Amino acid sequence: MHWNMTGAVGYVYAMSSLVFIFGATSLFFGIMAAIGYFAHVDLSSLRNFLVGGLVFLLVFWVVSMFINLQRFEMMACGREDLYFL
């Protein structure tokens, strides 16, 4: 049953972690949707900023597979938190 609910991810991560991440993502989406709906704010102006952060994370992920970047991993995690929270 565990496999049916989460796929292969269920074997790698604990169910509590998956539920927490799902909840945090849902909460973030709900807050941004409510701000856009009730305040009539166009959130598309954040597109360039968020896409830039996503590109940075993808490049950093690829580079870190080939080079040991232990000193910079903490910095990248902090930057990720600033982009997506």
Apex CA 77: angle with CA 64 and CA 16, to 5°?
105
Structure tokens, 23: 């909840």
Tens of pLDDT along 7-61? 666 677 777 888 888 899 899 899 988 888 898 878 788 889 888 988 988 887 7
Q: Which of 1-10, 41-50, 56-65, 70-79 is predicted least confidently?
A: 1-10
Measured CA to CA, the distance from residue 37 to residue 29 in angstroms comes to: 12
pLDDT value at residue 82: 57
Q: Is the pTM of this model over 0.85?
A: no
> pLDDT confidence of 1, banded at 50, 70, 90?
very low
The string over 42-51, giving b where at least 16 C-beta atoms fall within 10 Å of a residue's C-beta and e elsewhere, is eeeeeeeeee
Q: For the chain, which residues make up each domain, given as ranges?
A: 1-41, 44-85
